[in-house]
Structure 1
């Protein structure tokens, strides 16, 4: 289904969350109570009755222009049919809120991020139910881009400049761009949960970071997931590793306007997980995990949505927190501690 490959342009792949010292709250989504509650108004935490087990599935929108609840509705329907559960959904206001909701027991399953997986495992809050994959690709990439006429030729040129990022805790939209900037010799200061020293930072989401680079001074570069900016970058600018491994190398590289120039491409990053709360009944946890791993691309399609509004991933593969060691290494390099909340 070639048309579905364009889902990656609105991906939610890459969030990262749950840093010590960063607070979050739930809210914002259509029908969401705005306080960590389910749509029905109560906190459903794996309680049972005479019917299916009631679970809350918390989502994190990576793009401001996507209705994440509509995207995930086929997965909710699938889990209800395969695992004898009843799903209520909640939308987190930011990435850090997901961990808080899991920790408090308000969330049973979460559209999460590598850092949440790390912190949750360290604190025995949640475990990896599966790692999301896109068209067979279990890893993805972070890019730092600029405009061709910006006068920025390499990362070192960003000293004293303004750089746009996605959410402060986004894996591909903040953590790995900061990691690349630090490796290039720039002082990232307290970022992501503080202020960088050698440049100014602006944080929003992947699409806004891209559009801010294109449309607003003084921003001269953007750190985003490849799903957001790769279509604007000519194919001949990408390293061979990206071309060999990235699901974004699907014929769309360099097809979007305006053209962007690639300053840096990260090493491969393991894709984001779905987490399940550790304290959930073991039978329910096993049933939900088995169902998630068995889901097919067809199970995740919302027939009421167009191609550009579908989920960015096509299934899940088995995984554990150990798969996210490269993310832990990036946090270590930036001097950010995880798992001590």
Structure 2
């Protein structure tokens, strides 16, 4: 496995998706079977004492495809989208909302999608000694969100607060911590009153979720999502690699690999749709609008 890192250069808003350093494919005539599969990922954990689930993902994908896999680390969700959109990488694994935004550009394909369950996606976490007991108590609070394109760390909890009558910028202050881990750090250090995140992360324990039992409480639950995640692909991806990935990825996300995949394991056990139609993301439009994002504005 080869690994590259694109530094954080700033995404200048949903409509621009700017990523310095992405280049178009070089037009090589090499056979697809001789070339690596390239994937853009976000850093999952900075803890050097823990196994990196991205390494496990790569190892399993190489086993199933028989191809080398190269990883490019990017700073945020929208940078993953732009890396695919600009032909810098072959694929990226994304949650529902950034996938909906990407597919709506008409310049990125959904290779496959994991359908949602009936379980709530997000919650907001407070320290156990916090006076905040309900979602309504977050009025006047400072709330940490993971990333402005995160499904579980932004869109769904913002919708949850909206349903409780709280609007961002009016009833509470929002900060973006650059990821779920950053949200937890901000809460732990007392920089925010609450951190909104994925329910599944709170269930995983350390090191993914740094708070022990008795140190934290969950406040509220968001609705479920119709699509939990998607494998996005560049539209120029060759048919051989496309078919290979459609067959291999569901095998990678099998129950026996749940422990290895750690944070990626939330997709395991969900029904898979191959080559889903863009209409699968229709339900995301209303929730995105609550967060001030119109899917049709992303072009």
Task: Please indicate, yes or no, whether the TM-score normalized by the shorter chain is above 0.5.
Answer: yes
Equivalent residue number for residue 210 of structure 1: 184
Q: In the alignment, is residue 256 of structure 1 matched against residue 230 of structure 2? A: no
Report what 2:56 is aligned to: 71
- Tell me the equivalent position of 2:6: none
Alignment partner, residue 80 of structure 1: 65
Preserved CA contact (<8 Å) 2:183 2:196: yes
Distance change >3 Å, CA 141–CA 294, structure 1 → 2: same
SS at match of 1:271: strand
Which residue in 2 is equivalent to 1:235? none
C-alpha change, 1:273 and 1:201, in structure 2 (3 Å) is same
* Structure 2 CA distance for aligned equivalents of residues 46 and 329 of structure 1: 40
How far does residue 142 in structure 1 lie from its aligned partner after superposition?
0.3
- CA offset at residue 171 of structure 1? 0.7
| Corresponding position: 1:125 with 2:107 | yes
Residue in 1 that maps onto 2:123: 143
Question: What's the counterpart of residue 227 of structure 1?
Answer: 200
Tell me the alpha carbon deviations over residues 49-107 of structure 1, each in whole angstroms, 9 at most, x when there is no partner.
155244321112354447454132223313431xxx44322111111111111111112
Q: 2:228 aligns with which of 261, 264, 271?
A: 271
Q: Which residue of 1 aligns with 2:264?
A: 312
Checking the alignment, whether the CA contact within 8 Å between 1:111 and 1:274 is kept in structure 2 is yes
What is the total number of aligned residue pairs between the two structures? 273
> Which residues in structure 2 correspond to 1:17-96 (within 5 Å)?
20-21=14-15, 23=17, 25=19, 35-36=21-22, 47-50=28-31, 51-65=33-47, 67=52, 69-81=54-66, 85-96=67-78
What stretches of structure 1 of length at least 5 have no aligned partner?
Answer: 1-16, 27-34, 38-42, 189-195, 233-254, 302-306
Residue of structure 2 equivalent to 1:288 = 245
Contact (CA 8 Å) 1:127, 1:275: kept in 2 or not? yes
Question: Which sections of structure 2, spanning at least 5 residues, go unmatched?
Answer: 1-10, 206-210
SS, match of residue 264 in structure 2: coil
- Residue in structure 1 matched with residue 284 of structure 2 by the alignment: 327
SS in 2 for 1:212: helix
1:18/1:116 contact within 8 Å kept:
no
**SS at 1:283 equivalent:** helix
- Change in CA separation of 1:88 and 1:138 when aligned onto 2, cut-off 3 Å: farther
Report if aligned partners of 2:53, 2:260 keep a CA contact under 8 Å in 1. Answer: no
For residues 128 and 284 of structure 1, what CA distance do their matches in structure 2 show? 14
Name the Cα RMSD after superposition: 3.4
Aligned in 2, Cα 1:91/1:44: closer, same or farther, shift over 3 Å? farther
For the structure 1 residues 212 and 142, does the alpha-carbon distance in structure 2 shift closer, same or farther, using more than 3 Å as the test? Answer: same
For residues 154-195 of structure 1, the C-alpha deviation after alignment (integer angstroms, 9 at most, x for no partner) is 22322222111212221111111111112211222xxxxxxx
What does residue range 150-229 of structure 1 map to in structure 2 within 5 Å? 150-188=130-168, 196-204=169-177, 205-217=179-191, 219-229=192-202
Q: TM-score with structure 2 length normalisation?
A: 0.76
